[in-house]
Amino acid sequence: MRILFLAQRVPYPPNRGDKITTWRLIERMARKHEVRVIAFAHDGADRDAARHLSSIGIQTTAVDHAATAARLRSLPLLLTGQPLTLGVYGSKALQRAVDREAGWADVGYAYSSSMGAFLEPHGRLARVMHFAELDSDKWRQYAQRSSAPMSWVYGREQRTLLAFESRVARSFSENVFCTPLEQRVFQEQIPGASSIVLRNGVDLKYYGPQPELARARHMVFTGVMNYLPNVDGCEFFAREVLPLLYGRYPDLRFTIVGSNPTPAVHALAKLPGVAVTGFVDDTRPWLAQAAISVAPLRIARGIQNKVLEAMAMGLPVVGTLSATQGIEGVSGHDYLVADSAASQADAIAQLFDAPSDARELGARARAFVEREYDWERVLEPLDQLLERLGPAAQQTTAEQRP
């Protein structure tokens, strides 16, 4: 089968959430099928990665994307009924690339709704819309946590993007979500459209426990640090949770690990015990040094890779309901759930004061992801989906019609 895969970023190397997932999807597809990739290149590293993928047999076309300029170009859409997202990720060059390859492909696979727009003109293809997250619901959450005028902008984006998502979802062959929760939201907002769940996984060989390196009362957060939910969560944690702990644990440390920290994130490093690393080649040493991983996200859906990776490292995780609900574990057994500043501080103090309990929680976390989130297991439904959409299956279906 010939699969045309579209992504917002060149899907390699797997060093951030979306690239981890897209690379795993492509690697799995390429075992049995021919895959060609068209994706945006956000920098020179992305262009290098595209050349690497082509060199290993996954033909990849990278189209340059300048984020700031794209956002500015999208602003006139405020005077229309179109979502800004389609302006930010709109590209005549990428559309031309898709149009060239569409005649070659049997299946078009779009990762994120904005990439689905490029497949809309190609109804001949069996098309899959893989919602990395239901973006309209994300903008709804942004609107609820913002004040004017941004609450209006975010609310408008939610409404216009939902209309676009509805159109795409009903015209594509299948819609994919990474959690049953997101699937339920989708079914409520876009009833009648077909959907399946294809969960994210975690590399259990790459992320392994190293308890001998852990330092008492060290906490860590990992994530891309110009992403609003991550910025909001870290600001909340550093400014509202940590002050509740300083008196009892003056030696506590909180390290924020991730690329592209905003000025607001850099400012957190001025607070007692807080460090901001910026980009690191490998998050594992930072996770290994921590006693606790925190996920204080107040805006989140789906599966948080940061939580899976920490659990795979055998770390006890303290996270909000928003950050953990996609994992589908049990609070108190696989991780601790706490939403308010006071409850997060209490959960952390509980683990600080009982290191053996913290280690046991981390061990259960590792066992949980071994059982539920091995990539080989979670991607089995992908094989079944492609078999169902392949040319042979489509031909059989056509022959069975009266």
Residues 93 and 52 in one domain: yes
The pLDDT score that the predictor gives to residue 392 is: 59
Q: Which of 288, 276, 277 is nearest to 206 (CA)?
A: 288
Residues 164 and 242 in one domain: no
Residue 99 domain-assigned (yes or no): yes
Residues 119 and 247 in one domain: no
Confidence of residue 394 (pLDDT cuts 50, 70, 90): low
Residue 264 domain-assigned (yes or no): yes
pTM for this predicted structure: 0.91
pLDDT digits (tens, 9 = 90+) for 171-230: 999 999 999 989 999 999 999 999 999 999 999 999 999 999 999 999 999 999 999 999
- Gyration radius of the chain's alpha carbons: 22
Residue 157 domain-assigned (yes or no): yes
Res 170 pLDDT > 90? yes
CATH of the domain at 217: 3.40.50.2000
Res 60 pLDDT > 70? yes
What's the whole-number mean pLDDT along residues 75-94?
Answer: 95
Range in 123-132, 133-142, 189-198 the model is least confident about: 133-142
Res 61 pLDDT > 80? yes
Confidence of residue 401 (pLDDT cuts 50, 70, 90): very low
Res 123 pLDDT > 70? yes
Residues 183 and 223 in one domain: no
Residue 366 domain-assigned (yes or no): yes
The more confidently predicted of residues 396 and 97 is: 97
Residue 145 domain-assigned (yes or no): yes
pLDDT digits (tens, 9 = 90+) for 250-272: 999 999 999 999 999 999 999 99
pLDDT digits (tens, 9 = 90+) for 334-384: 999 999 999 999 999 999 999 999 999 999 999 999 999 999 999 999 999
Residues 32 and 128 in one domain: yes
The pLDDT score that the predictor gives to residue 110 is: 98
- Look at the chain and report how many structural domains it folds into: 2
The pLDDT score that the predictor gives to residue 133 is: 84
Cα gap 91→143, rounded to integer Å: 27
Residue 402 domain-assigned (yes or no): no
Residues 167 and 34 in one domain: yes
Q: Give, rounded to a whole angstrom, the gap between the first and last alpha carbons of the chain.
A: 26
Residues 279 and 318 in one domain: yes
Res 295 pLDDT > 60? yes
The pLDDT score that the predictor gives to residue 398 is: 41
Residues 24 and 47 in one domain: yes
Residue 206 domain-assigned (yes or no): no
Res 393 pLDDT > 90? no
Asked whether the beta carbons of 3 and 34 are under 8 A apart, the reply is yes
Residues 308 and 392 in one domain: no
Range of the domain at 343: 211-374
Residues 149 and 239 in one domain: no
Confidence of residue 390 (pLDDT cuts 50, 70, 90): confident
Helical spans, DSSP H, in 103-179: 113-116, 135-144, 150-171
The pLDDT score that the predictor gives to residue 396 is: 45
Which residue(s) pair with 35 in the sheet? 3
326: CB partners within 8 A, 6+ apart: 178, 179, 181, 182, 300, 301, 302, 303, 304
Residues 242 and 311 in one domain: yes
Residues 39 and 186 in one domain: yes
